[in-house]
Structure 1
């Protein structure tokens, strides 16, 4: 009970601090306060909507909320052993995406993490070593879905559109890496953003492609090969079963350009 009383007192004190920053026209202030678990969201309501200085048209009891995203810590301390591929980190004043991370042991020197980093500005890759207990600045990013529109060769960027707001976003081509070839009209891609800036971009793991050129088995040859090469409509060559022919639509794994099945 004492802990509950202390928490209630702290909440009331915070409400008084908030109310002191509001321009009130009413001499009687009736506040109610709700605090979500872990104090991630605080909602303050008042019986008189006129106290809200930012919008006098708010209806009775409408909450004035402080979303967690507004207070979110965009950088956090992490140990080298916690670094994983796909993470975005800040190092030496630059922002990098982790491409590869491999643990290794060097005798009495202890375990280290060998990482391959990609500079999100230039696309250049560098190799670094972290001690397992080394502190790394980890960047929190927001993943959003966009629709592919076109590739702007002049600016060397890919133009995407947010499907709900129709707002366009220019993303450097190098953020897509080798998966750039899979971009086509209306494909949905995922972009990780930090302060509305693209940190990384990726296509769906599985996409449908059309075979534009396939080798035809020649009669009189020996045993039929288990696989053969075909050329897809995006210019990528993949190994497929021998029964695949020109015009077939195939389901392709974009992570390693491998054949999955007929679409």
Structure 2
């Protein structure tokens, strides 16, 4: 079986992935092509995919200062685990510099906003990260991902990607962060190619356009509808016209 996998070309592998996506949408059951003739290697569930030694690489108790906290970090506070969604720094007069952070409770899903000093000790939680391939997104916001090595499939909510779910493309490689075998967040590549759908406003210095994913961005005056451009997904900014 291992020999058969090694002999598959890139074209064969892409065909398997597309066929798997089609069968998944039809039967609503994750498939592993290399388990069809070997029942003992049946596709594992999302929970069983990420067991030890994954968990053994996750660490708690690492202290960092408040000024080092960044969006996407996972922190521990009063016995709970939070994902940092937003960080705003401020300094009022001669008072101590502070940061206002928006946090998402990993266990309960609710969001809270707190203020802390830039020199406060914060417990940083390190998570495990794994690469997947995007297959499709259902109308209810369920994103289907595939492990490119095992071809096992997993479902996650589009909320894990936040606004970046708009950048998802067929066969795009994405990263998912886990803690205690539970998906915490997901991210797309920093640079993604999009198509300009239409120009909605223009000045002598720039244009505002709508992309094929619905996002509006500013571009240079020479960009026109139909152009392929490279966008920075971190701040939705124009980088350059895509090379043909």
Fold shared by both chains (TM-score > 0.5):
yes
Which of these residues, 112, 135, 139, is aligned with residue 153 of structure 1? 139
Superposition pairs for residues 1-263 of structure 1, below 5 Å? 71-72=56-57, 74-81=59-66, 82-104=68-90, 110-120=96-106, 123-131=109-117, 134-154=120-140, 156-214=141-199, 225-263=204-242
The change in CA–CA distance for 1:202 and 1:228 in structure 2 (over 3 A counts) is: same
Distance 1:199 1:141 in 2: 9
1:204 is paired with a residue of what secondary structure? Answer: coil
Provide closer, same or farther for how the CA distance between residues 168 and 73 of structure 1 changes in structure 2, counting only shifts above 3 A: closer
SS at match of 1:99: strand
Q: CA separation in 2, counterparts of 1:182 and 1:207? A: 7
> Cα RMSD over matched residues?
3.0
Provide the rounded CA distance (Å) in 2 between the counterparts of 1:91 and 1:201. Answer: 22
Shift of 1:196: 2.3
Gap runs ≥5 in structure 2: 1-51
Q: Name the TM-score, length of structure 2 as normaliser.
A: 0.66
Q: Extract unaligned runs of 5+ from structure 1.
A: 1-66, 218-223
- The change in CA–CA distance for 1:80 and 1:116 in structure 2 (over 3 A counts) is farther
TM-score computed with the length of structure 1 as normaliser: 0.62
Which structure has more relative contact order (CA 8 Å, sep 6+)? It is 2
- Cα 1:166–1:242, aligned 2, differ >3 Å: closer, same or farther? same
**Aligned 8 A contact 1:253 1:259 in 2:** yes
Q: 1:246 to 1:199 in 2, by over 3 A?
A: same
The alignment covers a number of residue pairs equal to 190
CA deviation after TM superposition for structure 1 residue 107, in Å: 7.2
CA offsets, 1:209-258, max 9 Å, x none? 112223698xxxxxx62211222111112111222222211111111111
